[in-house]
């Protein structure tokens, strides 16, 4: 087996009052797209955040190991909250470029524009002066993606990146993600409560419930022949386009 990019073993995370994640293990290989599905409170977001050690206040990793061999970028759910509301998107992106690559101002600006092009922001020269509040939701999320890509990562950590977006915009962002992955050879760990989205984007699925992994396997197998009743329940609740009434 090739050494994976990310290996999580027996991860436990707890707050002051109770354990939130019990003994979660998963692996992500180079270029692989793995999805974590579950309802709110299943511990999927915490698992994702622990890869970079970015757990929220009062929550700590209490056991297990996280082995990350490479750099990871993070895309969070709410792009409005994920960006500093008082600074232009250009300035924020340039700041990341400068510190990540040790670049000077001009070089950082050039790289920032390059990244904005990469995430398909129209008219980047004009948009870079905008505040996050002035962009649309989809544009904001692209900026967040650009920031994640600025560190030249091998793994993209996505926490419900499309949940806060309109449905039509969701599709565009997912398409962008797929394109970038192919172009840059990125691996991805994609967290969502939406089984349909995860199914589209990932080749392997990890199903979590109440802080533990209940099932894992290749996407096709999990979606067509789930072994755990919880997975079946998730499947059943996915709305499909209804047959036209005959």
Partner 1 sequence: MLRWLGRTALSVIPVAIGVVIAVFALLRIVPGDPARMILGEQATPESVEALREQLGLNLPVWQQFVDFVVTLVTTGSTGDSLQYGVPTRELVLDRAPITLGLVGLAVLFSILIAIPLAMIAAVQRDRLPDHVIRVIPMVGLGMPTFWIGLILILIFAVGLKWLPVGGIGTGPGEPLRSLLLPALTVSLGFVPGLVRSLRAELVDQLGADYVTTLTAARVPRHRVLGRHVLRNAAIPALMLFSVNIATLLGGTVVIEKVFAINGVGSLLFSSISNRDFPVVQGVALFCAIAVVIVSVLIDGIVQLIDPRARAQRGGAVRRRREASGTQEERA
Q: Which residues bind partner 1 (CB under 8 A)?
A: 49, 52, 54, 56-58, 72-74, 76, 78, 81-88, 92, 95-96, 99-100, 120-123, 130-131, 133-134, 136, 138-139, 142, 144, 147-148, 150-151, 157, 169, 172
Closest distance to partner 1 from the beta carbon of 181 (Å): 18
Minimum gap (Å) between residue 122 Cβ and partner 1:
6
Question: Cα angle at 13 between 9 and 19, to 5 degrees?
Answer: 125
* Rounded least distance, CB 83 to partner 1, Å: 5
CB of 89 to partner 1, least distance (A): 11
Nearer to partner 1 by C-beta: 172 or 203?
172
Residue whose CB is less far from partner 1, 83 or 191? 83
Q: Which is nearer to partner 1, 112 or 222 (CB)?
A: 112
Query: Least distance (Å) from partner 1 to the CB of residue 219?
Result: 26
Indicate the DSSP class of residue 28: E
Do 198 and 159 meet the contact criterion of CB atoms below 8 Å apart? no
In terms of CB distance, is 54 or 238 closer to partner 1?
A: 54
Residue 64 CB, nearest distance to partner 1 (Å)? 20
CB of 234: closest distance to partner 1 in angstroms? 26
Contact between 92 and 84 under an 8 Å Cβ cutoff? The reply is yes
**Is the CB of residue 187 less than 8 Å from the CB of residue 30?**
yes
Q: Which residues contact 50 (CB under 8 A, 6 or more apart)?
A: 8, 11, 13, 21, 61, 66
Edge-to-edge strand ranges of the sheet holding 19-28: 19-28, 6-14, 60-68
Tokens 């709410």 locate to: 78
Name which of 144 and 205 has its Cβ closer to partner 1.
Answer: 144
Cα–Cα distance, 157 to 245 (Å, whole number): 41
Q: Are 235 and 223 in contact (CB under 8 A)?
A: yes
Of 26 and 147, nearer to partner 1 (C-beta) is 147
d(CA 232, CA 45): 21
Q: Which is nearer to partner 1, 159 or 215 (CB)?
A: 159
Query: Which stretches does DSSP call E strand in the chain?
Result: 6-14, 19-28, 33-37, 60-68, 72-75, 155-159, 187-192, 204-209, 212-218
């Amino acid at each position: 087996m090739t050494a994976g990019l990310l290996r999580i073993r027996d991860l436990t995370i707890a707050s002051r009052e109770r354990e939130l994640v019990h003994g979660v293990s998963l692996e992500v290989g180079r270029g692989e797209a793995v999805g974590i599905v579950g309802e709110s409170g299943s511990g999927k977001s915490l698992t994702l955040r622990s890869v970079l050690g970015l757990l929220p206040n009062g929550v700590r990793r209490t056991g297990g190991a996280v082995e990350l061999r490479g750099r990871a970028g993070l895309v969070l759910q709410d792009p409005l909250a994920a960006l500093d509301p008082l600074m232009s998107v250009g300035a924020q992106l340039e700041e990341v470029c400068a510190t990540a690559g040790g670049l000077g101002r001009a070089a950082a600006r050039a790289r920032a524009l390059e990244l904005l092009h990469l995430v398909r922001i129209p008219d980047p020269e004009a948009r870079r002066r905008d505040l996050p509040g002035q962009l649309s939701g989809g544009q904001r999320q692209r900026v967040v993606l650009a920031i994640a890509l600025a560190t030249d990562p091998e793994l993209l950590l996505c926490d419900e990146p499309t949940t806060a977006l309109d449905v039509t915009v969701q599709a565009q962002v997912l398409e962008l993600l797929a394109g970038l992955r192919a172009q840059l050879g990125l691996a991805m760990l994609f967290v969502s409560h939406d089984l349909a989205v995860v199914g589209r984007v990932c080749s392997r699925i990890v199903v979590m419930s109440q802080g533990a992994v209940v099932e894992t396997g290749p996407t096709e197998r999990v979606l067509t022949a789930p072994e755990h009743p919880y997975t079946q329940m998730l499947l059943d609740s996915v709305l499909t386009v209804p047959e036209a009434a005959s």
